[in-house]
């Protein structure tokens, strides 16, 4: 795929606060089963970042954007090519993180970027990452009980980060999450092509 093909297939999903206000957008690059920033050669990567940075104010209506990066992208400094004032760097890594990734995340924070983490398995080696993260994304399924929700949210909140719940919730689940202090909600049913007007904006 060419770099502009990734932009044409970019999806966005609104991020709601606890009062149902749209406060930002999660941007997803669609390539296969992945939604992270694509792995490209240096020239294509720089062109994609340049074009994305230029279009961000329009794509997100001037609001913040959460963009997912795999560990290689973070370690290679790809997020540095995007505006720190508007971009949250979501670190997606299914394996065990290493010192190189931690150092890269710390450098991003020092540069003014904000880190978002997905809810990784509670292995102790993720603890240093939670200490520098601003928000943790918790995936929730429609069939989760309120008891399970309480347990999972409590496990995330103990890190002192804001909590973003990702999933389609029923009314009781949504109200329960609000009562537990969940900060943000992302419902994949609101996902749309980024270059088209979105009904929630």
The residue behind tokens 């399924």 is 141
CB half-sphere exposure, 20, CA atoms < 13 A: 5
Q: Which CATH superfamily is domain 3-193 in?
A: EAL domain (3.20.20.450)
Half-sphere exposure of 52 (CA within 13 A, CB side): 34
**Calpha distance 195→183 (Å, rounded):** 27
Terminal-residue alpha carbon distance, the chain:
29
Question: d(Cα 72, Cα 157) in Å, to the nearest integer?
Answer: 28
* 8 A C-beta contact, residue 88 and residue 64: yes
**Does the pTM of the predicted model rise above 0.75?**
yes
Q: What is the pLDDT of residues 170-200, one digit of tens each?
A: 999 999 999 999 999 999 999 888 765 444 4
For the chain, domain boundaries = 3-193
Residue-wise pLDDT for 32-87, tens only, equals: 768 899 988 899 899 999 999 999 999 999 999 999 999 999 999 999 999 999 99
In contact, 141 and 168? CB cutoff 8 Å: no
């Amino acid at each position: 795929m060419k770099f502009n093909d990734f932009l044409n297939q970019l999806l966005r999903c609104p991020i709601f606060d606890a009062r149902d206000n749209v406060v930002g957008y999660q941007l997803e690059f669609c390539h296969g089963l992945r939604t992270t920033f694509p792995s490209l050669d240096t020239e294509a990567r720089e062109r994609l970042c340049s074009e994305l940075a230029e279009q961000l104010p329009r794509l997100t209506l001037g609001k913040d954007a959460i963009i997912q990066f795999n560990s290689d992208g973070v370690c290679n400094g790809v997020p540095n090519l995007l505006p720190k004032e508007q971009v949250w760097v979501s670190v997606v890594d299914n394996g065990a993180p290493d010192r190189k990734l931690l150092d890269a995340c710390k450098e991003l924070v020092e540069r003014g970027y904000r880190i978002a983490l997905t809810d990784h398995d509670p292995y102790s080696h993720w603890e240093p990452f939670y200490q520098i993260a601003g928000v943790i994304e918790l995936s929730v399924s429609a069939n989760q009980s309120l008891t399970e929700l309480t347990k999972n949210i409590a496990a995330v909140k103990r890190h002192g980060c804001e909590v973003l719940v990702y999933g389609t919730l029923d009314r009781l689940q949504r109200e329960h999450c609000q009562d537990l202090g969940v900060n943000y909600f992302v419902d994949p049913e609101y996902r749309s092509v980024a270059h088209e007007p979105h009904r929630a904006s």
